[in-house]
Structure 1
Amino acid sequence: MEFDAAEEGSQTVLITGGAGFIGTHLCRELIRNGYQVLSLDLKTYPPHPVSGVDYIVGDAREFNTVAHLLKQHAVNAVYHLAATVSVPLCQKDPVESYSQNMSATLNVLEACRMQVKPVRFAFASSAALYGSLGDSRGALSEHTIANRFSSFYAAQKHASEKMIELYCEYYKIPALVFRFFNVYGHGQDPSSPYSGVITIFSKLAKEKKPMTLYNAGEQTRDFIPVTDIVRALASALMLPEEKWDADVINLGSGTSTSVRELAEMIRTITGSNSSIVDAPPREGDVLHSLADIKRAKSLLGHEPSTDLSKRLGELLI
């Protein structure tokens, strides 16, 4: 879906976490489509700032900061991406991750509620909510989530989704929830604890260092380029406000690839002689993950890239 914001008058969008990996790509996509874009992030600037974006250093947990921005700039929509997205970091410090993942979400919702005009609220959730439900190798629909979570991160995302649902129901906040699967693309820092397996394996391959595969690399994942993610997110702004009803939408490719297949692809594309080292399964690891993307296709016209090898070639060469 292509959209020019100028067609419906200038609209202003606030992105929390706008200096991060996905946030930077979303800034670029929205600017390209004619929106006024504000980024609120603890970082000053991303490594490659997007021209036209107003970068603001601040904390999404500070109510006055968020409320002031929404009012001063007459913000039409908020994409709440700011979060601690590393499962190990959430496990290590559940109190701090609760603050960054739960308190920040509640704070931004409350700031939206206090505005005179409705502010649309889009939330970045996670496929972590499905837990091991995908171990049957079936596609995961939005209607099913795990009865029990294996990480604080998943529990915090689930609680955030429920808060959004209530704010939508009781305070009429227009909201949508997007569950991201395994996102990859340019600008993902391989040294960051937030980086995915593609970025990590790519760095190891280029350095000709061993790649460690847990459980023989039999786990399967649904890998989706960040460009497809932000295109779908931007498309949501085309929906009429009544469609922003706290609905949950999977954002994945709808195809699965084993981690071993991924490692072999990356070795081939980079011409690396990195060895592959097998290691025992890690406790809590999900074996299989595949998105059911029918809802994203229907609502957003989501047509993701399915040729992972081709996209990796573009990314790595």
Structure 2
Amino acid sequence: MNSEQLSPAVIVTGGAGFIGCALSPGLLERGLPVIAIDSLLEQVHPGQQRPEALPAEVELVHADVTDAAAWDALLQRVRPELVIHLAAETGTGQSLTESTRHAMSNVVGTTTMLDAFVRHDVLPKHVVLTSSRAVYGEGAWTDASGTDFNPPPRSHAQLERGEWDHQGPDGTTAVARPTDAATTRPNPASVYGSTKLTQELILRNWADAFSVPVSVLRLQNVYGPGQSPHNPYTGIVTLFHRLASRGETLDVYEDGLIGRDFVHIDDVVSALHACIERPPAVEENRTLDVGTGTVTTILDAARMIAKTYGAPEPQISGKFRDGDVRHAVADVTRTRADLGWEPRWSFEDGSADLSTWLGKGGFLG
């Protein structure tokens, strides 16, 4: 069948996941069939059941993105107008011990998809990749003299000594700077971050060769209603809520001053829709950051969540996790300008929203 005779569709890889389920209702409003490809990983989807949050109108293809035969079967009947590439293994710590699993899903899954598009001569009009702030690693820092530098990932020995912050070339404690895709040099500190950066590079090389517009959105720490409460590697915010609701004392790593930019799922979905509505020009590859632009320390987040449930005061343990970065916050100035987008949720309001959802679902206590 000629590719022009195929039915046009929106394809969402990892479409049954947290972001995919939240994004799909808006995609359906575009008037094209929406097809979600998802392996329904047991770690995220107990029993590998279709999630209730995925709209019934979305066709779910239960397949791994690395399965070339599954792509062949799909692309024999549909032509992808728009591709939202969400499928990825996301565990920072887990990626250090299951590197092959992360590389297969994130890297080989991407190349398998792209090869299928070429094989069937069905090039999308726009590909959107959700990447991660993990590609930056420690990002850029500034020392007391005003000198900017890019520190290497913190070593295991450094963390064992409790040397949490970076020192500048002059030996003084440095201050982290917000990350901006236009100016911050990627330098991943984890296998996960390395696979996400590889995804970006592969997609950029491919898109340049085939003149396919590409948008890369580097997401900060996403949280909110719909995030799997079953996944032991899920976000720290959901985990803290579940533990605090049982009256447990929250264990805060390092000295509690790890900085994160927690961005609510609604803000991520609105950024994705804005990105779709304002596609880049042909042959243009754009990379933008999605976050709130506001830092919340892990200790402040833990205290806020503990207070919600009347749980004990969080305790700083000095534990650490290899591959974690000290500080992460996005500079979303360009994203605001390019997409006409604005983050709406404060962490306080978003945390309360998540608590309500977890309570209604019976996931607390």
TM-score w.r.t. length of structure 2 = 0.78
Matched, 1:132 2:171: no
The percentage of aligned residue pairs carrying the same residue is 28
Matched, 1:88 2:75: no
Distance 1:29 1:229, change over 3 A: same
Q: Distance in 2 between matches of 1:147 and 1:130?
A: 4
| Higher normalized helix content (fraction of residues) | 1
Query: Aligned match of 1:113 in 112, 118, 123?
Result: 118
Matched, 1:212 2:212: no
Q: CA RMSD in A?
A: 2.1
- Residue aligned with 1:217, SS: coil
Q: Distance in 2 between matches of 1:262 and 1:40?
A: 34
Q: Distance in 2 between matches of 1:28 and 1:216?
A: 41
Q: Distance in 2 between matches of 1:311 and 1:240?
A: 28
Please tell me whether the aligned partners of residues 91 and 152 of structure 1 are also in contact (alpha carbons under 8 angstroms): yes
Please tell me whether the aligned partners of residues 27 and 50 of structure 1 are also in contact (alpha carbons under 8 angstroms): yes
Q: Distance in 2 between matches of 1:208 and 1:28?
A: 36
- Residue aligned with 1:45, SS: coil
Matches within 5 A, 1:1-317: 12-43=9-40, 44-116=49-121, 118-119=123-124, 120-133=126-139, 136-146=175-185, 148-240=187-279, 242=281, 245-268=284-307, 270-282=308-320, 283-317=322-356
Please tell me whether the aligned partners of residues 118 and 174 of structure 1 are also in contact (alpha carbons under 8 angstroms): no
- Residue aligned with 2:289, SS: strand
Bigger drift between 176-185 and 48-57 goes to: 48-57
Distance 1:76 1:21, change over 3 A: same
Q: Which runs of 5+ in 2 are unaligned?
A: 1-6, 41-48, 142-174, 357-365
Please tell me whether the aligned partners of residues 112 and 173 of structure 1 are also in contact (alpha carbons under 8 angstroms): no
Please tell me whether the aligned partners of residues 113 and 173 of structure 1 are also in contact (alpha carbons under 8 angstroms): no
Please tell me whether the aligned partners of residues 249 and 296 of structure 1 are also in contact (alpha carbons under 8 angstroms): yes
Deviation readout 1:94-120 (Å, 9 max, x if unpaired):
122211110001111222334545302
Distance 1:173 1:112, change over 3 A: farther
Distance 1:260 1:244, change over 3 A: farther
Bigger drift between 223-232 and 239-248 goes to: 239-248
Please tell me whether the aligned partners of residues 134 and 287 of structure 1 are also in contact (alpha carbons under 8 angstroms): no
Q: Distance in 1 between matches of 2:30 and 2:75?
A: 20
Please tell me whether the aligned partners of residues 243 and 250 of structure 2 are also in contact (alpha carbons under 8 angstroms): yes
Q: Distance in 2 between matches of 1:286 and 1:128?
A: 8
Q: Where does structure 1 differ by over 6 angstroms across 4 or more consecutive aligned residues?
A: none
Of structures 1 and 2, the larger Rg is shown by 2
Please tell me whether the aligned partners of residues 176 and 244 of structure 1 are also in contact (alpha carbons under 8 angstroms): no
1:89: how far off? 2.2
Q: Distance in 2 between matches of 1:280 and 1:248?
A: 35
AA in 2 matched with 1:118: L
AA in 1 matched with 2:256: G
Please tell me whether the aligned partners of residues 15 and 39 of structure 1 are also in contact (alpha carbons under 8 angstroms): yes
1:250: how far off? 0.7
1:12: how far off? 2.3
Distance 1:266 1:134, change over 3 A: farther
Q: Distance in 2 between matches of 1:201 and 1:129?
A: 25
Please tell me whether the aligned partners of residues 212 and 282 of structure 2 are also in contact (alpha carbons under 8 angstroms): no
AA in 2 matched with 1:278: I
AA in 2 matched with 1:45: R
AA in 2 matched with 1:245: E
Question: 1:5: which partner in 2?
Answer: none
1:146: how far off? 5.0
TM-score w.r.t. length of structure 1 = 0.89
Q: Distance in 1 between matches of 2:310 and 2:88?
A: 34
Please tell me whether the aligned partners of residues 289 and 330 of structure 2 are also in contact (alpha carbons under 8 angstroms): yes
1:54: how far off? 0.8
Q: Distance in 2 between matches of 1:68 and 1:300?
A: 35
- Residue aligned with 1:195, SS: coil
Distance 1:157 1:76, change over 3 A: same
- Residue aligned with 2:269, SS: helix
Distance 1:311 1:95, change over 3 A: closer
